[in-house]
Each structure stands twice: as C-alpha cells, then as structure tokens.
Structure 1
Amino acid sequence: MKAIETTATINDQGQLALDQPLELAQRRRVRVIVLISEEDEPDPDDTPNSVVMDGLRQGFHEALTGQTIPLSQMWDGIDAE
C-alpha cells in the first residue's frame, strides 16, 4: 500500500476538496484517513508568510555571503540506522 500526504478542505456538505490534484496514472478507489487539528493545536502548515519570507531572506543572505557548510558535514552526529 502506498501513502500520499496532501491537504484538503471540508466543504459545507462534508466532502473533501483536495488543494492539488493527485498525480495518479489511473482511477481507483482509495482509503482516506482525515487528521483534524484540535482547536488549540496550531496547524503546522499555517506558518505566517512573514516568518517564511524572513527565513528565505536569511538563507539567501547566508548563501551569498559564504556562510555555508558542506553537505557531508551536515550528517556528522546524526545516528542513522
């Protein structure tokens, strides 16, 4: 079985409307698991645009000014099994 994660909206009739179409080769029946955030639980997909833009600006600045590390060093200290 293959899993695909995507986002959707539940309309007034209780039906799911996917934000993006699924790229599948053929029509078929699927199983759906719906995860709904609790009222006081922030949605991880709701990062404010200003926060995202600040992160992108910082990343571009670091890349342009040479404040980078080799990819091979990024794995140092990570215990992969």
Structure 2
Amino acid sequence: MKAIEVTGKIDAEGNLLLDQPIQGTTYADQVRVIVLVPEQIELRAFDPKDTPIEEIKTNLRIALQKAQAGQGKPISELWDRIDAE
C-alpha cells in the first residue's frame, strides 16, 4: 500500500475537500483515507486579517510549484495591482 499525504478540510456535509489535487495518478479502485485532526482547537477572537499558518504554507507551496513550472508573472505586472494607501 502506498501513502500520499495531502491537506484539506471537511465541510459541513462531511465531504473531504483537498487543498490541492493529487497530481499524476488516478486510482479506479477504492482508496483508504485516514483523517488526522488536532486534539485541541484553540478558541480565539476571529480576526479576518489572520490567515491560518497551514493556509499560508499551502499557498506558498502552490506558488513555489507554479514558479518552478514557469507559471509566474513578471514583477512589472504585480506592481500594477498594488494599491497605495
């Protein structure tokens, strides 16, 4: 048996939503899924400016993969989208 580690969330209906697709493989047979969840959830005031660490790591991982695949944008285009306050 082969293990593939991915991150994701479970929605209100109990569906598993992966943060990114599993690349390069398709499995027609059933697969086994083991879900690991934190034992304690830290309750704190919600701040919409706070981005969870795992989400930041996932976004950085995706950005690195895109950069390595040559899917980045020229920095000149990025400056156009920055709003100065």
TM range (shorter): 0.3 to 0.5
Larger Rg: 1
TM-score, normalised with respect to structure 2? 0.43
TM-score, normalised with respect to structure 1? 0.45
Structure with more contact order per residue of length (Cα contacts < 8 Å, sep ≥ 6): 2
